[in-house]
């Protein structure tokens, strides 16, 4: 068991394409479970049946949509996710580890897509902010190289390099605005190295170091 109770109940991992956040979310959830926490590991867009249907529309490379439509669909997926998964888990005393959240809406639609994030943030979170948002920072070009060359890029992955550079800048600026409720961790290292850096941010004693 962990010596001290975890001060963060709602933890988000986010970052540019290929930054490794899904691997890190799994490693973190596993580590928290080993320390005795009940953990809900979830992701956006998706995490519910309605959210997965919205995700399919959002990522379909053959469909074009307006910037506002895109933003509202991400927010719609989040609204369902909050009500059906995140709020009930927090109310039951579980730790929620979420792979992407409103930080992604701020970086992709707000910054790279040019919609600004003040209004979007309000709609996107429904007023509930994560206790800690960890941004895994990586040069977008490196992230792209890490992605499976065999998979076809989805509607968002195929946007141009300049868009993905703005996404990165958006994540960094959003993290600065969140101040002590966010941390930036370099994603340019081995999965185990990044995992240790995340544990440090969360004040969790490393299992390996015992
Ligand atoms: P994923 O690759 O983490 O599964 O996320 C799917 C894509 O959705 C990814 O390109 C990032 C994008 N996205 C947004 O543009 N805005 C959002 O609010 C979220 C949650 C994801």
pLDDT digits 0-9 by tens, 57-83 = 999 999 999 999 999 999 999 999 999
SS3 142: helix
CB 75 within 8 A of CB 105: yes
pLDDT digits 0-9 by tens, 154-170 = 999 999 999 999 999 99
pLDDT digits 0-9 by tens, 4-43 = 678 999 999 999 999 999 999 999 999 999 999 999 999 9
Residue whose CB lies within 8 A of the most ligand 1 atoms, among 20, 104, 120, 170, for a mutation test = 104
Pick 126 or 138 by higher pLDDT.
138
How many C-beta atoms lie closer than 10 Å to residue 1's C-beta? 7
pLDDT in the model for residue 122: 75
Atom 9 of ligand 1 has which residue's CA nearest to it?
156
pLDDT in the model for residue 2: 53
Give the tokens for residue 96.
Answer: 């929620």
φ/ψ bin of 179: left (φ > 0), alpha (ψ from -120 to 50), beta (otherwise): left
Distance 166 CA to ligand 1 centre (A): 14
Pocket of ligand 1 (CB under 6 A): 17, 44-45, 74, 100, 104-105, 108-109, 156-157
Distance 36 CA to ligand 1 centre (A): 30
Cα 119 from chain centre? 19
Residue whose CB lies within 8 A of the most ligand 1 atoms, among 66, 100, 152, 164, for a mutation test = 100
Q: Is the pLDDT confidence value at 150 over 70?
A: no
CB 175 within 8 A of CB 182: yes
**Which atom of ligand 1 lies closest to the CA of 44?**
20
pLDDT digits 0-9 by tens, 129-142 = 999 999 999 999 99
């Amino acid at each position: 068991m962990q010596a001290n109770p975890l001060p963060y109940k709602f933890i988000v991992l986010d970052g540019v394409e290929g930054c490794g956040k899904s691997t890190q979310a799994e490693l973190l959830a596993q580590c928290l479970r080993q320390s005795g926490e009940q953990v809900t590991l979830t992701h956006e867009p998706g995490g519910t049946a309605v959210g997965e249907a919205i995700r399919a529309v959002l990522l379909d490379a053959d469909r074009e949509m307006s910037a506002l439509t895109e933003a509202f669909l991400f927010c719609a997926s989040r609204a369902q996710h909050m009500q059906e998964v995140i709020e009930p888990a927090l109310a039951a005393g579980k730790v929620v580890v979420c792979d992407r959240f409103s930080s992604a809406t701020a970086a992709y639609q707000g910054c790279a897509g040019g919609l600004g994030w003040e209004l979007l943030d309000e709609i996107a979170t429904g007023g509930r902010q994560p206790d800690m948002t960890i941004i895994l920072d990586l040069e977008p070009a490196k992230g792209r190289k890490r992605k499976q060359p065999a998979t076809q890029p989805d509607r968002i992955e195929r946007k141009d390099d300049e868009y993905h550079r703005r996404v990165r800048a958006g994540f960094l600026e959003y993290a600065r605005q969140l101040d002590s409720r966010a941390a930036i961790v370099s994603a340019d290292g081995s999965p185990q190295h990044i995992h240790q850096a995340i544990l440090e941010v969360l004040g969790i004693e490393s299992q390996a170091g015992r």
